[in-house]
Amino acid sequence: MKAIFYLSVTILGLFTMHSCVKDTCVHTKKYLHYEPVFITQEEFDAPAEYTLARPMENTGTIYAYGSYIFVNEFQRGIHIIDNHNPQSPNVKGFIEIPGNTHFTVKSNMLYANKLEDLVVLDITDVDQPLQVNRISDVFQLHRAQSSDQGILAYYESTDEAIEIDCNDQRYNSLIFSFNDRLFFDFEAFTPSANLQFAAVNNAKAVVESGNSPSTIGVGGSMARFTTFGEYLYVLSDHSLETIDITTPDQPVKHASTNVAFTAETIYPFEGHLYIGTTNGMHIYNVSHSGTPEFVSTTAHIQSCDPVISDGEYAYVTLRGGTECGGFTNQLEAYDIQNPFTPTRVQIFPMDNPHGLTKVGDYLYICEGPGGWKKVKSNLPGQFTLEQTNSSHSAYDVLVTPQFTLLFVGSKGIFQYSMDGVNNPQLISQVEFVLP
């Protein structure tokens, strides 16, 4: 699945330009309009800057680290939320990183992309994040687009009503471009619910990898960045970049590995990387030299595909009807005790599955606009549905070091307590300010 909506690249492939043969008529539609914002070379070269808190409007990657939550503002930077008291999280500040879409954290170092560059920030003092390094030309997928107006850094949105004749080729389009701007059919879908999410790891993976929550971050299931051992791994569609972070503030590009199909999510567990693609799950071994060594591929029908693992089984959600293709919506489980021959052992029907995590015997699975579900894993027996919560949308989920569930929806971040209750109880939320 696409963890992040790349407005400047992938969105062009979604155009549906259908002409309609009807009598002359005029129809007014409401569109969410995105206009490119350009910055100078000097602004692009400037180090990341920590500023006052600002509203969250168009979020991406979410990550829990120690008592803090980090949230990407798509192509703009990273929000910092103080979560010492999960019942009352407090938005502290914002790190300005133009062009940022992904990041991860390890040992007080935050690694983030700034378009095609990798920046490293020391967050030992969360109140004073400091950029300590920057490596050029690391991520080809995010390469800057330049023009006589400057460098395209991000898009700003606004509501705009436009009038379109039914014979116009744009009449039935959900998305179209005009004069270097992008327009989304406001009634067809809410872009803020689709321009989401990414991260890494879950609580079980943190514990079993031998790292404490104070040194390694906790995230969801829809990642493109992750760390394992002394390496940072980054997905870039058809390649897996390996970056040596033995010296944390001096990363060095180590290797680039080709990945079959369009790679979407990456998940580390017990010396392996589980990579979800539009056509299957790849397993790579990284426990030897750090360079990914191919182990196996399990093919499935084309769809969006987050993957997590508990070491014994891999869990995959397939979602159709999207830019990934396909029409299947289901949860699948694979026996990976022999990683060279993964075997599918269970299928469970879903409505619109997105990110997921596992706590004990239970899977928490996001259903997009439909909320989330708690499913008991009785493997190798059948899955059983334990709880459905449709009070808010949910696109990704993680378990924080405070042992709370953190769901990300189209309207905010929703935090649930799991202490002493059969079903998680909502204890707080941080609302987004939507366009």
Q: Is 374 helix (H, G, I), strand (E, B) or coil?
A: strand
Which one, of 221, 204, 189, lies nearest residue 393 by Cα? 189
Q: pLDDT band for 126, please (50, 70, 90 cuts).
A: very high
Tokens for 84, please give them.
């010492």
Tokens for 136, please give them.
């050029």
> 396-412 pLDDT, tens per residue?
899 999 999 999 888 89
Tokens for 350, please give them.
């879903």
Task: Provide the percentage of residues in the chain whose pLDDT is more than 90.
Answer: 40
Q: Is the pLDDT of residue 12 over 50?
A: no
Give the integer Cα–Cα distance in Å for 395 and 322: 14
Q: pLDDT band for 223, please (50, 70, 90 cuts).
A: low
Give the integer Cα–Cα distance in Å for 363 and 102: 25
Give the integer Cα–Cα distance in Å for 402 and 82: 12
Q: Note every long-range contact of 236-243, with CB atoms under 8 Å and residues 24 or more positions apart, other chains counting.
A: 236/139, 236/140, 236/141, 236/263, 237/141, 237/262, 237/263, 238/262, 238/263, 239/140, 239/263, 240/266, 240/273, 240/275, 240/284, 240/292, 241/138, 241/139, 242/290, 242/291, 242/292, 243/118, 243/138
C-beta separation of 80 from 91 below 8 A: yes
Residues 6+ apart with CB under 8 A from 179: none
C-beta separation of 70 from 78 below 8 A: yes
pLDDT of the residue at 264: 72
Q: Is the pLDDT of residue 116 over 70?
A: yes
Radius of gyration, alpha carbons of the chain: 21
Mean pLDDT calculated for residue range 120-133: 96
The CATH architecture that domain 197-431 belongs to is 7 Propeller (2.130)
Helix (H) or strand (E) holding 149: none
> 166-182 pLDDT, tens per residue?
777 666 665 666 666 66
Give the integer Cα–Cα distance in Å for 375 and 330: 12
Task: Provide the percentage of residues in the chain whose pLDDT is more than 70.
Answer: 71
pLDDT of the residue at 158: 65
More confident residue, 211 or 82: 82
Q: pLDDT band for 218, please (50, 70, 90 cuts).
A: low
Give the integer Cα–Cα distance in Å for 138 and 252: 10
Residue 27 burial class via C-beta count within 10 angstroms: exposed 0-12, middle 13-18, buried 19 and up? exposed
Domain limits of the chain? Answer: 197-431
Q: pLDDT band for 31, please (50, 70, 90 cuts).
A: low
Helices marked H in 123-236: 203-208
> 322-372 pLDDT, tens per residue?
544 456 789 999 999 999 999 999 999 999 898 899 999 999 999 989 999
Residue 189 burial class via C-beta count within 10 angstroms: exposed 0-12, middle 13-18, buried 19 and up? middle
pLDDT of the residue at 279: 74
Give the integer Cα–Cα distance in Å for 87 and 259: 42
Mean pLDDT calculated for residue range 362-389: 94
More confident residue, 394 or 31: 394
Q: Is 142 helix (H, G, I), strand (E, B) or coil?
A: helix
Which one, of 116, 108, 117, 21, lies nearest residue 65 by Cα? 108
C-beta separation of 324 from 316 below 8 A: no
Tokens for 351, please give them.
């409505």
Q: Is the pLDDT of residue 260 over 70?
A: yes
Tokens for 166, please give them.
């039914």
Residue 282 burial class via C-beta count within 10 angstroms: exposed 0-12, middle 13-18, buried 19 and up? buried
Q: Is the pLDDT of residue 420 over 50?
A: yes
Which one, of 120, 124, 102, 381, lies nearest residue 266 by Cα? 102
Q: Is the pLDDT of residue 417 over 90?
A: yes
